């Protein structure tokens, strides 16, 4: 799938300042985007299967590189690229260099078939459109960074994202996508890989220093990320549950309780649904993997539970 590029909003601010300030924030934003991307993909797959009876595997609808991108960076004939041998690497400017890249926060992508099918479903279900949009946003968001950094420490984080993506979405995984276990896995892999990169950049002190700057942002994530993600998960799951409750109310009003075809409430409460693989809904399979006989759903209005996506 060719990468879909969109222009940055001209009025949007461009963050600048010295590398010692911008790179820790960038590293924090990268891990935040990664876990929100996993959450939105997982929730979208669950929603579409539960409400529309169509199965998607998160491993197969996501890709190892970005399929969407905001902005395209800059290449200037005047000026100079980032000074990789600076004697004051922490004070080097984040912007204003001749070679600047639109560096992804996430750098994972979405398959064309997944997006097309969501688009069709969204014609009749606005929540599918909303979830599709959020998945794309978590895929496409970028910020301007010197090309040398985008090809240096940012590539290290790209490889971490691909490894943790596959483990998070593995069929045998017993943790929600956002969990202390997965966050710790990400942090341990990233810190180790950044230190290895820094050791290999002794002749390029600016790039060597970026390793510690990224690690600084990841240390912050260790204490702050869970709370930040928890708020967004709870808000989005509540929004989805309200939407489902409204759909049920609308259907009841239209059908008058005497519909001949299978109703939405029947599909939601059924132990299995008809899917392309003939298996139980993903939410039930995952509940069993997590040690529960069935998902916590005392009422249809909370058919989607925060505990499927975040355990912190």
In a structure prediction context, what are the per-residue pLDDT tens digits for the chain, which is 312 residues long? Answer: 678 887 765 555 667 899 999 999 999 999 999 999 999 999 999 999 888 989 999 999 999 999 999 988 888 988 899 999 999 999 999 999 999 999 999 999 999 999 999 999 999 999 999 999 999 999 999 999 999 999 999 999 999 999 999 999 998 888 889 999 999 999 999 999 999 999 999 999 999 999 999 999 999 998 899 888 989 999 999 999 999 888 888 877 776 655 555 455 555 554 433 333 445 556 666 665 555 545 544 444 467 888 878 886
Closest among 37, 50, 39 to 282, alpha carbons compared: 50
- pLDDT confidence of residue 298: 45
Rounded to whole angstroms, the Cα distance separating 181 from 184 reads 5
The angle formed by the CA atoms of residues 169, 104 and 141, to the nearest 5 degrees, is 90
Q: Where are the beta strands (DSSP E) in the chain?
A: 4-6, 62-63, 68-70, 74-75, 99-104, 109-110, 142-146, 178-179, 310-311
* pLDDT for the residue 203: 96
pLDDT at residue 249 in the model: 83
The number of residues making up the chain comes to 312
Please give the structure tokens belonging to residue 311: 């355990």
d(CA 104, CA 158): 9
């Amino acid at each position: 799938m060719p990468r879909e590029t969109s222009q940055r909003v001209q009025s949007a601010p461009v963050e600048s300042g010295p590398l010692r300030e911008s790179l820790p924030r960038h590293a924090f934003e990268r891990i935040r985007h990664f876990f929100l991307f996993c959450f939105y993909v997982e929730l979208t797959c669950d929603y579409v299967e539960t409400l529309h009876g169509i199965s998607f595997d998160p491993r197969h609808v996501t890709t190892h590189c970005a399929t969407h991108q905001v902005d395209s960076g800059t290449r200037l004939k005047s000026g100079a690229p980032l000074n990789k041998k600076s004697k004051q690497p922490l004070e080097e400017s984040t912007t204003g260099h001749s070679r600047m890249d639109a560096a992804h926060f996430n750098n994972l992508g979405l398959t064309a078939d997944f997006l097309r099918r969501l688009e069709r479903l969204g014609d009749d279900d606005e929540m599918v459109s909303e979830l599709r949009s959020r998945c794309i946003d978590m895929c496409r968001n970028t910020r301007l960074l010197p090309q040398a950094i985008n090809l240096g420490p940012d590539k290290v984080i790209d490889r971490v994202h691909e490894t943790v993506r596959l483990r998070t979405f593995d069929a045998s995984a017993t943790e929600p996508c956002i969990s202390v276990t997965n966050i710790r896995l990400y942090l341990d892999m990233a810190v180790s890989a950044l230190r290895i990169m820094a050791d290999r950049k002794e002749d390029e002190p600016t790039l060597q220093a970026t390793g510690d700057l990224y690690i600084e942002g990841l240390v912050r994530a260790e204490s702050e990320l869970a709370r930040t993600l928890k708020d967004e998960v709870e808000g989005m799951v509540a929004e989805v549950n309200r939407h489902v409750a409204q759909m049920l109310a609308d259907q009841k009003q239209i059908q008058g309780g005497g519909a001949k075809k299978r109703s939405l409430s029947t599909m939601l409460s059924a132990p299995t649904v008809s899917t392309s693989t003939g298996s139980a809904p993903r939410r039930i399979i995952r509940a069993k993997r997590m040690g529960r006989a069935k998902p916590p759903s005392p009422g249809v209005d909370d058919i989607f539970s925060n505990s499927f996506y975040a355990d912190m």
